[in-house]
Amino acid sequence: MKALHILIVGHGCFPNMGSEAGVTWNWAWHLSERNRVWVIAHGFARPLVEQYLHHHPRPNLHFIWVGPLGWWDPWKNPTPTKARGLRLHYLFWRHAAVAAAQQLMAVEWIDIVHHVSWNSISVPPLLWRTGKPFVWGPIGGGHILPWRFLTSIGRAAVPELLRNLRVGIMPWTPSLRRTVAQTDLLLAANGESASVLRQAGARHVELLPDIGIPAELLQPPSRERAASPTLIVLWAGRLVRFKGLAIFLRVAKAVRTRDVRFLVAGWGRHQWVQRYARRLGLNDRVVFLGQLPWQEMQQRFAEADLFMFTSLRDTFGTVNFEALAKGCPVMCLNHQGAGSYLPETVAIKVPATTPQGVVQEMARHIDSLASDRARLRRMSQASYSFATTQQWRDRALLMEKLYREVLARRGVNQISS
């Protein structure tokens, strides 16, 4: 079977990193094992990508760097964690990505174009304009923060309320409806996003997690962790209100078992978090680790007994798979991507009822696990086993199959070699 010529488009692209930038990289890296792949990404990723490829050559993988866009670019001095001006910048970047794609197609044959990030219904890509078979997704952004939790996130409630209202009208916006109509294959990262796409006119949407697990992340659970008398509960993410860190801290307060250690690893404005922890009297129970390098974060997952994913809205959450890859089971809300894809054997999924109800239920489960280490060991083994079935290389093989189905429907019988 002839190799496909694939154009992957993703704004951020970093090797050995989670979140959006890691998604672009992993699609490109694993698809290029069997196919010729070009990637359009922002130039801030270039030094790390070229350094990685110098030590790990991949002849089938080629990059086209788009950005910074000019002196007028609203995203100044870009870094992976600098968000100011990023959203406005991305609106312009989408147009630059289409221009770069058309220039590439003037000199190289491309079979199929796949937009992989940002994959949000809020900013539909424009790559259908290339006229090539076009795949979009897996797409998120159709999920909202549960209405009953708006009062639990302080001043962030106002922008979240506005976002909820915006998601509600998205199915009827011309930009989304036009992109949906022009896309050959739509992939949704959770059921909520699939519902929005169907309301926007999509006749067929396939569900697929927007992330996978690199084989090198897989690490069986250690015996040392199982033998430790202290239960380690880990939280990781951006220190923003909708990630639900306040719920995590309230759970730490509510847990009755004393031999439980709560760790917080994250980046962002930390003042409100530490003030809230002091107000709850958690100085001796919660340890703030600050922002950790990605590799060190993987070690923290390996050492933890339980990972708490308290995000009130998230497409899925890369950190969930990173935890499971180390045999660390997850506790999360039973909604959105995590609720859809994580089986009961690896995740304790708490209904998103009310803030107080969630806190009480999560605390009860932690107290139960602290006294039932046999159950925790079973969940740990199941977590690792499940993680082995969610690898990026398998995602890439599935995606290649989907590409070929798209081409067959388009009547493309001959693919350039």
| Predicted model pTM | 0.88
Instruction: Name the CA dihedral angle for 229, 262, 213, 204, rounded to a multiple of 10 degrees.
Output: 130
CATH of the domain at 332: 3.40.50.2000
In a domain, 230, yes or no: yes
- Structure tokens that stand for 170 in this block: 């998205």
| Range of the structural domain that residue 222 is part of | 215-388
Same domain (yes/no): 339, 379: yes
pLDDT at 44 (0 to 100): 92
Task: Give 76's pLDDT tier (boundaries 50, 70, 90).
Answer: confident
pLDDT at 318 (0 to 100): 87
Same domain (yes/no): 83, 94: yes
pLDDT tens digit sequence for 236-257: 998 989 999 999 999 999 999 9
Same domain (yes/no): 117, 189: yes
pLDDT tens digit sequence for 153-168: 888 899 999 999 999 9
Same domain (yes/no): 382, 367: yes
Average pLDDT in the 216-232 region? 80
Percent over 70 (pLDDT), the chain: 97
pLDDT at 16 (0 to 100): 76
pLDDT at 414 (0 to 100): 46
Average pLDDT in the 296-318 region? 93
Q: 380 pLDDT exceeds 90? A: yes
Same domain (yes/no): 163, 250: no
In a domain, 416, yes or no: no
Same domain (yes/no): 201, 246: no
Q: 227 pLDDT exceeds 80? A: no
Same domain (yes/no): 117, 235: no
Same domain (yes/no): 240, 326: yes
Same domain (yes/no): 220, 312: yes
Number of domains, the chain:
2
The alpha carbon of 55 is separated from its chain's Cα centroid by a whole number of angstroms, namely 27
In a domain, 417, yes or no: no
pLDDT at 223 (0 to 100): 62
Task: Give 359's pLDDT tier (boundaries 50, 70, 90).
Answer: very high
pLDDT at 18 (0 to 100): 67
In a domain, 98, yes or no: yes
Q: 81 pLDDT exceeds 70? A: no
In a domain, 138, yes or no: yes
Least confident of 119-123, 325-329, 383-387: 119-123
Average pLDDT in the 287-303 region? 92
pLDDT at 275 (0 to 100): 87
Same domain (yes/no): 323, 305: yes
pLDDT at 226 (0 to 100): 59
pLDDT at 417 (0 to 100): 46
Q: 282 pLDDT exceeds 60? A: yes
Q: How many CA atoms lie within 13 A of 181 on its CB side?
A: 10
Same domain (yes/no): 189, 285: no
Q: 413 pLDDT exceeds 70? A: no
In a domain, 342, yes or no: yes
Query: Which of 22-26, 360-364, 411-415: highest mean pLDDT?
Result: 360-364
Same domain (yes/no): 198, 310: no
In a domain, 282, yes or no: yes
The C-alpha atoms of residue 3 and residue 69 are separated, in whole angstroms, by 33
pLDDT at 105 (0 to 100): 98
Q: 1 pLDDT exceeds 90? A: no
Give the type of residue at 199: Q
Average pLDDT in the 291-320 region? 93
The C-alpha atoms of residue 380 and residue 374 are separated, in whole angstroms, by 10
